[in-house]
A and B are shown apart, each in its own frame.
Chain A
């Protein structure tokens, strides 16, 4: 098995706001991330795929097919967007990573037609010091 990882970047605006909580409770929960006018981040996204190395091509995946999938399903939806408008859930890094994972899995078979490669994981950095990782079960 080989794992291939590709890094992507996008920038977006968000405000952490749980709709069932008061302004005061949101402020207590999320601190400055709940400031009313929102703020932005340069997100760093790593998408990992895994599979056997194809004997004929010597590759585990077509990185350009992965690029197209991520561009169409993730970057087009989130780059330079307001995440509160683009997502149903509170746009924490956790929920954004889950949303990205869901988008990739829903369109996976249009990018990769065979049994392999499979999604191995999604790693999303809101800043270089705040990183969420979701690993798929092998």
Chain B
């Protein structure tokens, strides 16, 4: 059984590579490379996989999942400029792909070896563009 919780944070970022010229960055990332940055309301979904516990009838306590999401992702990232305020984006380009992977990494460490596992992270850059990540093997 899969259970999904949605959350949201708003953040600023700039997508540019220090290895490239201004012109190359603009060609690669378009307006996302604007040096002064831009922002999104990032909506994301965390999906867990497991069977309902026979005692509680729950796959996982959603209050706990909410706390994990808040502590690991929303708290550190909401209303922040990612490149300047949220490691590792001081040296990793905060593309939506890399951001999804970082959200996965932060949530994943709470689900090692238990009977519930992290199945997927879906991150919406806008309502019409999103990425799904299920780890490198997924």
Contacts and interface: CB of A to CB of B under 8 A. Distances in A.
Interface of A: 1-8, 48, 53, 56-60, 62-64
Nearest to B124: A5
B30 A64 contact: yes
Given A2-B97, A2-B100, A64-B30, A56 B129 contact: no
B93 A60 contact: no
Contacts of B129: 4-7, 63
Contacts of B93: 57-58
Contacts of A57: 17, 28-29, 93, 95
A48 B96 CA distance: 15
Contact of B131 (A5, A56, A64): A5
A48 B95 CA distance: 17
B48 interface: no
A127 to B, nearest CB: 18
Given A57-B17, A64-B30, A4 B97 contact: yes
B41 interface: no
Interface residues of B, number: 26
15 contacts: A1-B136, A1-B137, A2-B97, A2-B132, A2-B133, A3-B133, A4-B96, A4-B129, A5-B129, A7-B127, A7-B129, A53-B97, A53-B101, A57-B17, A63-B129
A51 to B, nearest CB: 10
Interface of B: 15, 17, 19, 28-30, 92-98, 100-101, 127-134, 136-138
B85 to A, nearest CB: 18
B27 to A, nearest CB: 10
Contacts of A60: 97, 131
Contacts of B131: 2-5, 60
Contacts of A5: 129-132
Contacts of B136: 1
Nearest to B136: A1
B19 A56 contact: yes
A8 B132 CA distance: 18
B122 to A, nearest CB: 9
Contacts of B19: 56
A59 B130 contact: no
Contacts of A6: 128-129
Nearest to B120: A3
Contact of B98 (A1, A8, A58, A63): A58
